[in-house]
Structure 1
Amino acid sequence: MTVALPAHIQSLIETGQRRRREGYRGRFAPSPTGALHRGNLRTALLSWLEARLSGGAWLLRHDDLDTPRNRPGAIEAIEADLLWLGLHWDGPALRQSRRRGLYGSVLSALRRAGLLYPCRCSRRLLADVSAPHGRWPVYPGWCRQRAPVWGPEQGRLPSWRLRLPPGPLGWQERYGPPGRCDAATDVGDVVLRRADGFLAYHLATAVDELTLGISDVLRGADLWPATAAQVGVMAALGFAPPRYGHVPLWCDEAGRRLSKRSADEGLEGLRARGLDAPGVIGALAASAGLVAAGARISAAELCEELTLERFQQLLRRAALAAKT
C-alpha cells in the first residue's frame, strides 16, 4: 500500500535521496542522557573517520525525544567533548525534539494508509514474550485483528504499531552480522507512538535517515537488533535504507559494556589521569586496532595516516576478533 506523504515531506525525502546519491553522508546520534563514555567517544571517532576518509559529510544529531531521560546541559557537554577531541561536524547540530512536527506528519500519513493499528498490550503483559532463537522480544500480534479504537479505554491510550508485512528485511552490513531478518519471526510489528504519547525512536530515526540523506551509519553492535525495525519503517514509506556498519562494543576489564553511570569511563576520568586530546584519541584508536597501544595522535593526524581501505580492513579484523 502506497503512503501518501504531504508534499513538503516528500520533497524533503527526495532531497535527502539526492544527497545520498551524491556521496557519503554519515552521522553521530547520541542521546543526551549523560556524558559520553569511552565507548560512545570511540564510536564517534570511528564514524567521523569513515566519513572523512570517504570525502563525505559527518552530521551531529541529538536523539532527545525521550525528554524525561534527558539531562540538563548534556547536549552542550557532548558538543564540547567532540570539539575538544577535534571531531568537527558539518552544518548545525540537529535536535530531534525540534523535528516532532515532521515525525508526526509521517505518522499520520502511515495511519491514513491503514498501516498502523492501536495496541493496548501493557509492558507487564509483554514482559514474558521471548523471541525465537533467544534473540530479542518479538510482539506476537495480539492486537492486530482487534477493531481499532484509537481513543482511551479505561483511562489508557494505546500505543501505535506499524503492521509489518511478512517476509525478509535486509540491509547492506559492513562489519556486523549479515543484514537480514524475517519481519514476522525476528522483528514483529514496531511501536511508532508510545502509549504515553511520545514518538518512538524507530520512527524518528528512520525519518531522519531519509530526510537528511544519510548514506552510511556506523554505530555500536548493540544497535544491530534495532536496524531491522528501522529498515521496516523505511520500507513502509517506500525507500531503501542506508548502508550500516555495527562495530564491537568497548568493554571494561570484566567484559562488561561501558555505560554512562561511571564518570571515570568518560572524558572527565581520562583528563583526570592526565590525558590530553591526542592521548585520548590514541587510546580510542588503539582500542579498535587502528594504532599501537600508547600512541599519541590527533584526529586530523590519524585521518592523514589511514586510507579508507585500511580503516575498513582493520575494523573488519576487530569485528572478527570480537566474535572469537
Structure 2
Amino acid sequence: MGLDLPSRLEALIEAADQRRLQGPTGRFAPSPSGPLHLGNLRTALLAWLQARLSGGRFLLRHDDLDRPRQRPGAIESIEADLSWLGISWDGPPVRQSERTGLYASVLSALRRGGALYPCRCSRRMLADGAAPHGGWPLYPGTCRDREVGWGPVDGRLPSWRLRLEPGPLRWREEIGARGCLEAATEVGDVVLRRADGVLAYHLTSAVDDLLLAVTTVVRGADLWRSTAPQVAVSECLGRPFATTWHGPLWLDEAGERLAKRQGAPGLEPLRQEGLDAAGVIGRMAASLDLVPAGSRLSAVELLQDLNLSRLKAQLRRRI
C-alpha cells in the first residue's frame, strides 16, 4: 500500500535506511510499570548479547505511553538495574512519550490512505462475539464496511483499526516458530488507536523499530504473535520488519511464566541472598545452559565466552 507520507517522515525513514547500512542495531524496550523481574532482565541480557555479538549498537527504549500503568521511579529503577548488571546501551534512552508526534503522523497517513477505519465495538461486544485465536480475540469485522463516522457519538470517539487484507504476513524469525500468520484468519483488524486516545503497542513499536533502524528484535516467545500486526504496519510504510528472536520464557516452579502482575521477583531478593552482579549474570546464563550452574561472571565475560551461532543454537534448543 503506497502512502502519502509527510516529507519529514519520509526523511526519517530514509535516514534509518542509511543507518542500517552502517551496521546492525538491537534494542530492549521495557514498560515502566514497575521493577524488571528476572524474565525481563534475562531478555535484556539476551538482546544485549545479540547486538554486541553482531558488532552492533544496542538501544534502550522506554515504552511509557500507557500513563495509568506507569509507576513513579520505574524508569530510573530499570536503568539502574541494567547498569548494575553491566548491560550498557548506546546513546540516551528513548522515551515513547517524547515521540507522540511521529506516531500521529503515521496514523494520519494511514487514515488518509484508507488503511484505517473507525470502530465503535465495545470490549463487551467483542468478548461476546469474537472467538479467541491464539492469544487475542479475532475481530469479526463488524464495523469494517459500516459508516460509523470518525467523530464523537454520545461523547465517545471510535477506536481506529488497521484494515488487513487476506494474505500471509511474513517475517524473518531466527529462534521461534516460522514467521508467518494469515492476516484475515489468524490476525484480524487490530486496533492502532484506542477510543480513549491511547496508541497501541502494535503501532508505536513498529514505528520506533523502523525509525530507530533496529535490525533485530529480541523478546520473549509470548510476543511472537504480536509481530504480525507490526509487520503489517511496517509494510504500510514501505519497509520490511526487523528480524526477530523470540526466546524462551523464564518459568516459575509451577511452570508459569514470570510476570509483573503476579509480582515476579526482580533483583532485590537475589541481592538479599548475597548475590552480586556476577552471581546474577551467572544464574541467568545458567538458566539457558550457556554456562554451568553456579557460575560467576560479568556480562562482558559472558559476551567474550560466546559467539552468535552458539547463542542462537542454544536458544533454539530451549524453545
TM-score by length of 1: 0.95
CA distance in 1, matches of 2:108, 2:96: 18
Match of residue 106 from structure 2: 106
Deviation at 1:263, TM superposition (A): 5.7
| 2:77 alignment partner AA | A
Matched pairs, number? 318
CA distance in 1, matches of 2:285, 2:5: 43
Deviation at 1:240, TM superposition (A): 0.5
**Per-residue CA shift, 1:196-235, capped at 9, x if unaligned?**
0111111111110110000000100010110001101111
Match of residue 69 from structure 1: 69
SS at match of 2:60: strand
Does the CA contact (< 8 Å) of 1:207 and 1:234 recur in 2?
yes
| 1:45 alignment partner AA | L
| 1:137 alignment partner AA | P
Does the CA contact (< 8 Å) of 2:38 and 2:264 recur in 1?
no
Match of residue 297 from structure 2: 297
CA distance in 1, matches of 2:6, 2:135: 37
**Per-residue CA shift, 1:8-63, capped at 9, x if unaligned?**
11111111122223321100000000000000000000110011111101100000
Deviation at 1:140, TM superposition (A): 1.1
Match of residue 60 from structure 2: 60
| 2:171 alignment partner AA | W
Q: Which runs of 5+ in 1 are unaligned?
A: 320-324
Q: Which stretch of the first structure deviates more once superposed, 263-272 or 67-76?
A: 263-272
**Per-residue CA shift, 1:82-126, capped at 9, x if unaligned?**
000000001110000000011001101111111111000001111
| 2:269 alignment partner AA | G
Deviation at 1:155, TM superposition (A): 2.1
CA distance in 2, matches of 1:224, 1:21: 26
Match of residue 130 from structure 1: 131
Deviation at 1:136, TM superposition (A): 3.2
Structure 2 vs 1, CA of residues 275 and 212 (structure 1 numbering), >3 Å: closer, same or farther?
A: same
**Per-residue CA shift, 1:233-269, capped at 9, x if unaligned?**
1111221000001011001011011122466610011
Does the CA contact (< 8 Å) of 1:131 and 1:186 recur in 2?
no
Match of residue 254 from structure 1: 254
Deviation at 1:2, TM superposition (A): 1.3
Does the CA contact (< 8 Å) of 1:264 and 1:270 recur in 2?
no
CA distance in 2, matches of 1:91, 1:162: 33
| 1:53 alignment partner AA | L
Does the CA contact (< 8 Å) of 1:28 and 1:44 recur in 2?
yes
Match of residue 273 from structure 2: 273
The aligned runs of 1:168-183 (5 Å cut-off) are 168-183=168-183
Q: Which stretch of the first structure deviates more once superposed, 58-67 or 19-28?
A: 19-28
| 1:238 alignment partner AA | G
Percent identity between the two aligned chains: 64
CA distance in 1, matches of 2:312, 2:304: 15
Does the CA contact (< 8 Å) of 1:57 and 1:90 recur in 2?
yes
The aligned runs of 1:12-161 (5 Å cut-off) are 12-128=12-128, 129-132=130-133, 135-161=135-161
Q: Which runs of 5+ in 2 are unaligned?
A: none
Match of residue 242 from structure 1: 242
**Per-residue CA shift, 1:166-195, capped at 9, x if unaligned?**
100000101111100000001111211100
Instruction: State whether structure 2 residue 306 is matched by structure 1 residue 306.
Output: yes
Match of residue 322 from structure 1: none
| 2:305 alignment partner AA | E
Structure 2 vs 1, CA of residues 226 and 162 (structure 1 numbering), >3 Å: closer, same or farther?
A: same
Does the CA contact (< 8 Å) of 1:138 and 1:186 recur in 2?
yes
SS at match of 1:127: helix
Does the CA contact (< 8 Å) of 1:277 and 1:298 recur in 2?
yes
| 2:131 alignment partner AA | S
CA distance in 2, matches of 1:21, 1:60: 20
SS at match of 1:274: coil
Match of residue 318 from structure 2: 318
TM-score by length of 2: 0.97
CA distance in 2, matches of 1:4, 1:264: 45
SS at match of 1:60: strand
| 2:300 alignment partner AA | A
Structure 2 vs 1, CA of residues 188 and 300 (structure 1 numbering), >3 Å: closer, same or farther?
A: same
Does the CA contact (< 8 Å) of 1:3 and 1:237 recur in 2?
yes
Deviation at 1:165, TM superposition (A): 1.4
CA distance in 1, matches of 2:235, 2:24: 21
Instruction: State whether structure 2 residue 190 is matched by structure 1 residue 164.
Output: no
Does the CA contact (< 8 Å) of 2:120 and 2:148 recur in 1?
no
